[in-house]
């Protein structure tokens, strides 16, 4: 597996890069070639990211976000809307079906990725746990969520780990969650979500170890694909707000 290195600052670039990695083609053949990527990163500003099929106004307080100039973007993977920013470590994993047979099954994908994320977190916080379908929790409160997209050749699995995030942003930017795991038992955002006490730089290093990263690749190698996806989707309000 490769680790992708980038110095992106625009939130839309991060979303476009994840999709570009997922859909990367070989310049020589024009066909998808086996490759696998781990990327660990953070947004430098608060941002709300809707799922591919999220209904924006059912999940997000659009008026508040506009008043506070918090971008509302849409990613290419499923799941509900999330708030991220400084203090929220992001990870993106692209796995190739030619290398990992069986990950087209969603349960298998959750188990493969989240067992490694959990093991990395537990090196600093041994009491961290998995609950629900694929939530990472600490003291029975959620500190990490994720989403995925499966294509014919690969899977993109990306998620969050809250370690020093302004949790008040959740209640301000998000409305009631459309789907809730049983262990939430009706709790609101403030009483359900927490930061997990760990060092993000150390966690990034542990993730690299658990996913057995062996080399690095520069995100600039995908610059043309990122620019194309921004023009097609991530620069367009009609993409982000296509389902209101």
Give the CATH number, domain containing residue 93.
3.30.930.10
Domain carrying residue 205: 2-240
Residue 30, pLDDT score: 52
pLDDT for the residue numbered 34 = 73
Question: So what's the pLDDT on residue 240?
Answer: 96
Q: Are strands 37-41 and 2-5 parallel, antiparallel or unpaired?
A: parallel
Strand order in the sheet with 72-74: 72-74, 47-50, 82-84
Cβ atoms 52, 149 nearer than 8 A: yes
pLDDT at residue 178, as a whole number? 84
pTM beyond 0.85: yes
- Mean pLDDT per 10-residue section of the chain, whose length is 244 residues: 94 97 70 81 97 96 97 96 98 95 94 98 98 96 96 95 97 92 94 97 98 95 96 96 92
How many structural domains comprise the chain?
A: 1
């Amino acid at each position: 597996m490769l680790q992708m290195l980038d110095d992106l600052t625009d939130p839309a670039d991060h979303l476009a890069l994840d999709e570009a990695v997922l859909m990367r083609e070989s310049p020589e053949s024009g066909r998808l070639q086996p490759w696998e990527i781990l990327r660990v990163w953070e947004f430098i500003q608060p941002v709300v990211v809707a799922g591919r099929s999220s209904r924006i106004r059912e999940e997000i307080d659009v008026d508040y976000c506009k008043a506070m100039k918090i971008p509302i973007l849409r990613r290419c993977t499923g799941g509900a809307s999330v708030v991220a920013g400084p203090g929220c470590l992001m990870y993106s994993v692209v796995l190739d079906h030619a290398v990992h047979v069986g990950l087209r099954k969603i349960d298998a994908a959750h188990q493969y990725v989240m067992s490694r994320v959990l093991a990395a977190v537990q090196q600093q916080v041994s009491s961290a746990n998995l609950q629900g379908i694929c939530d990472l929790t600490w003291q029975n409160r959620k500190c990490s969520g994720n989403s995925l997209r499966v294509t014919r050749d690969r899977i993109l699995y990306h998620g969050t780990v809250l370690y020093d995030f302004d949790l008040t942003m959740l209640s301000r930017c998000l409305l009631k969650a459309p789907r809730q795991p049983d262990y939430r038992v009706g709790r609101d955002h403030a009483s359900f979500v927490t930061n997990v006490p760990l060092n993000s730089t150390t966690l990034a290093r542990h993730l690299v170890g658990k996913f057995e990263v062996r080399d690095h690749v520069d995100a600039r190698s995908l610059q043309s694909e990122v620019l194309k996806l921004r023009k097609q989707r991530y620069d367009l309000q009609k993409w982000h707000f296509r389902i209101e």
